[in-house]
């Protein structure tokens, strides 16, 4: 194989670092002995050697000037094939600069990290969801340690450089194989990749820089929210390790069922019972609206007069415009649907029975004449089914 490293990787002489890495990844995966089989060791070694030179700006500069990058400090003096390779470099190139299992880039990692987002649920009444409210919410979360203020160390104590990894946050092991000396880099087991250790950790947080506690926040609920809606509160989640910035808090709303009203989008539905005589003669009834659940609402504002025409049948739905739920985007309110249930008396005294009998004789209804509704008509049962979501 050619000693021109650019030709070995199949890239131009002005190729960028990303182009070199992509080319190396492709070649290495194709020529690895575990993939290509016996006989590919020499070609794989050349690809590795080319990448070791071209990914290093200093070695690449020496090579571009016609010099020997290995003699200039590139260093391929290990046993085996006269080189060996860093297995971590191969993993980095194949998986985009980090572990294929989601690890971070090389080097010591910071003790200060952003906290996790949190999801909590808040129960609301239908009136609270409809008209909006500012409501306290108790949450169990992580906050900055009040003793060390996020530093993780006891007072007058500071983190010191880890002697195992000399502050690099990683350690390298070398194993000899038929490919040469394979170097593998992994987080330092002593400092867990931080590069420093805390000799005197804070007793309050055990060096974490944060503690768990309960706190209360006030959540503003806009008018018109519905069951399952979420409210996003920026930086109200858990404080991160090392006193890092807090994550976000998501409040999922759970709206309890109402004993009178049923919500359909921005509309409300309710059922009202009226006596048979009132339905026959017609009347006006005062119906309480959802405003009746609000403590700040006057009684006269919490009801509406509904006119019931004479001859109203059970299952009739009367619409009261603008007395439903306020729309979330501030575009008015929905409607209130009032479904009427005509009550037939079940207990009659003698006088009442005689009066009804006289009414039946006057209307020529002494004999039962039942009318059958066809399937194409919308009868009482269909209307009741629609009104109550059946």
**SS3 per-residue string spanning 294-307:** CCCCCHHHCEEEEE
pTM: 0.62
As assigned by CATH, the class of the 262-387 domain is mainly beta
d(CA 360, CA 339): 27
- Determine the Cα–Cα distance for residues 24 and 90; give it in Å rounded to an integer: 9
The token duo for 77 is 């003096």
Residue 205 assigned ligand-binding role: yes
The model's confidence at residue 322, banded by pLDDT at 50, 70 and 90, is very high
Q: Which residue in 63, 238, 210 sits closest to 141, CA to CA?
A: 238
Grade residue 279 by pLDDT with cuts at 50, 70 and 90: very high
For residue 128, which phi and psi values (nearest 5 degrees)? -65, -40
d(C-alpha 60, C-alpha 140), whole Å: 54
Q: Are 240 and 206 in contact (CB under 8 A)?
A: no
d(CA 39, CA 56): 28
Domain segments of the chain as ranges:
5-74, 118-149+205-255, 262-387
User: Which residues on neighbouring strands pair with residue 119, listed in sequence order?
Assistant: 250
User: With contact defined as beta carbons under 8 Å apart, do 7 and 1 qualify?
Assistant: no
Phi/psi of residue 104, nearest 5 degrees: -90, 175
**Selection from 206, 211, 213 nearest residue 154 by Cα:** 206
Is position 46 annotated in a ligand binding site?
no
**Is pLDDT at 178 greater than 70 in this prediction?**
no
Average pLDDT, the chain: 83
Query: CA 220 → CA 95, 140, 171, 217, distances in Å?
Result: 44, 19, 50, 10
Q: What is the pLDDT of residue 309?
A: 95
User: Does 352 appear as a known binding residue?
Assistant: no
Average pLDDT over residues 7-16: 90
How do residues 197-228 score in pLDDT, each as one tens digit?
A: 999 999 999 999 999 999 999 999 999 999 99
Please, how many CA atoms are within 13 Å of residue 182, restricted to the half-sphere of its CB?
10
Pair 267, 337: CB distance under 8 Å: yes
**Residue 202 labeled ligand binder:** yes
For residue 232, the model assigns a pLDDT of 95
Burial label for 84, CB within 10 Å (0-12, 13-18, 19+), is buried
| 42 annotated ligand binder | no
Largest CA distance in the chain: 123
> How does residue 231 score in pLDDT terms, banded at 50, 70 and 90?
very high
Q: Distance (Å, rounded) from C-alpha 241 to C-alpha 177? A: 40
For helices 41-54 and 17-31, the axis angle rounded to 10 degrees is: 170
Give yes or no on whether 118-149+205-255 and 262-387 have one common fold: yes
Task: Tell me: is residue 165 an annotated ligand-binding position.
Answer: yes
Q: What is the pLDDT of residue 387?
A: 54
Sheet with strand 170-177: strands edge to edge = 85-86, 180-187, 170-177
SS3 70: helix
Helices (H) and strands (E) in the chain, counts: 10, 16
Task: Name which CATH class applies to 5-74.
Answer: mainly alpha
Least confident of 143-147, 262-266, 299-303: 299-303
- Name the band, by pLDDT with cuts 50, 70 and 90, for residue 104: very low
Q: Any binding-site annotation on 201?
A: no
CA triplet 324, 330, 334: central angle to 5 degrees?
20
> Quick one: CATH architecture of 118-149+205-255?
Sandwich (2.60)
Of 174, 214, 190, 341, the C-alpha closest to 273 is 341
| Segment 31-55 mean pLDDT | 81
User: Which pLDDT score, from 0 to 100, does residue 175 have?
Assistant: 77
In angstroms, the CA 62 to CA 60 distance is: 5
Distance CA 237, CA 119 (A): 8
Phi (first) and psi of residue 44, to 5 degrees: -65, -40
* 382 annotated as a binding-site residue: no
């Amino acid at each position: 194989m050619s000693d021109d490293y650019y030709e070995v990787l199949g890239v131009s002489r002005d190729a960028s670092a990303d182009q070199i890495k992509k080319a190396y990844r492709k070649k290495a995966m194709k020529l690895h002995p575990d993939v290509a089989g016996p006989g590919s060791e020499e070609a794989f070694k050349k690809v590795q050697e080319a990448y070791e030179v071209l990914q290093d700006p200093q070695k690449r500069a020496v090579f571009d000037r016609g010099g020997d990058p290995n003699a200039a400090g590139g260093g391929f003096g290990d046993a085996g094939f006269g080189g060996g390779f860093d297995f971590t470099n191969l993993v980095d190139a194949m998986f985009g600069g980090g572990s294929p299992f989601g690890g971070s880039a090389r080097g010591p990692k910071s003790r200060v990290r952003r906290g996790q987002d949190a999801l909590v649920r808040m129960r609301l009444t239908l009136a609270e969801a409809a008209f909006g409210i500012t409501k306290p919410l108790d949450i169990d979360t992580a906050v900055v340690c009040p003793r060390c203020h996020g530093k993780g160390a006891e007072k007058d104590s500071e983190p010191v450089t880890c002697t195992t990894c000399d502050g690099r946050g990683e350690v390298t092991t070398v194993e000899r194989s038929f490919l040469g000396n394979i170097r593998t880099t992994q987080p330092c087991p002593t400092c867990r990749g931080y590069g420093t250790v805390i000799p005197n950790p804070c007793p309050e947080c055990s060096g974490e820089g944060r503690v768990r506690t309960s706190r209360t926040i006030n959540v503003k609920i806009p008018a018109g929210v519905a069951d399952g809606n979420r409210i996003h509160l920026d930086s109200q989640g858990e404080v991160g390790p090392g006193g890092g910035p807090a994550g976000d808090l998501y409040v999922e709303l759970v709206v309890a069922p109402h004993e009178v009203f049923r919500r359909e989008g921005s509309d409300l539905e309710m059922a009202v019972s009226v006596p048979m005589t009132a339905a026959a003669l017609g009347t006006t009834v005062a119906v309480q609206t959802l405003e009746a659940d609000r403590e700040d609402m006057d009684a006269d504002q919490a009801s509406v007069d509904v006119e019931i025409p004479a001859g109203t049948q059970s299952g009739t739905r009367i619409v009261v415009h603008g007395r439903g739920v306020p729309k979330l985007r501030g575009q008015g309110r929905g409607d209130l649907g009032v479904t009427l249930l005509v009550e037939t008396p079940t207990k009659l005294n003698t006088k009442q029975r005689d009066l009804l009998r006289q009414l039946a004789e006057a209307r020529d209804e002494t004999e039962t004449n039942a009318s059958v509704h066809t399937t194409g008509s919308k009868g009482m049962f269909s209307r009741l089914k629609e009104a109550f979501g059946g």
